[in-house]
Amino acid sequence: MQPLILYHTKYGSSKLYAEWLREDLGRGEIRDLRGFDATGLRDFGQIVIVSSIYIGKVGAMDFMVHHWGELLEKQTYLLVVGSAEPGSEESKQAYMLIPREIREGLNGYYKLPGKIDFQKLSFIHKLMLWFKGIRRSEDKMDRAALQPVIQDLIRA
């Protein structure tokens, strides 16, 4: 089955994960979620949404809420990219902000480690991270973290 890999990114990490996923899976189409015509969903049986998380909110959530009827008819996976550790309280709280019907309807949910590049951040994002105690760039991106996603997509 040919998956559609949609990404929502602000600084590039989600796009890179989408590209890695396409390469490692060996199939699929990648599209930027912004500007994507949702009528294109009908051409795919698997939808993988790779999205950064901003202040606890999944960047692609508005799209998902608006198009949940169509997405629910597909095998839909959500990959969230952010600096918080997957099992952290912050990650758990962000997951709970996803509407329940979406959480329960997903075929898979994955939290992937992200990257912070202070040179690319807006002043507001730098300030927010400063208050969280993060004061320098860090790169925790891990291509191997995609392996469970790839296995699920192959099995489906």
Between 89 and 146, the higher pLDDT residue:
146
Q: Is the pLDDT of residue 134 over 80?
A: no
Q: Is the pLDDT of residue 28 over 90?
A: yes
DSSP letter, residue 41: G
Does 84 or 44 have the greater pLDDT score? 44
Mean pLDDT within 61-86: 94
The kind and range of the H/E element at 69 are helix 68-72
Q: Above 90 in pLDDT, residue 115?
A: no
Is the model's pLDDT at 142 over the cut of 90?
Answer: yes
Domains of the chain, CATH where assigned = 3-155 (3.40.50.360)
Closest CA to 150 of 64, 26, 13: 26
pTM, two decimal places: 0.91
Asked whether the predicted pLDDT for residue 50 surpasses 90, the reply is: yes
Q: Bridge partners of 80?
A: 51, 111
Dist CA 94 CA 84 (whole Å):
10
Give me the chain's average pLDDT, please. 91
Percent of the chain with pLDDT over 70: 99
- For 48, phi and psi rounded to 5 degrees? -115, 120
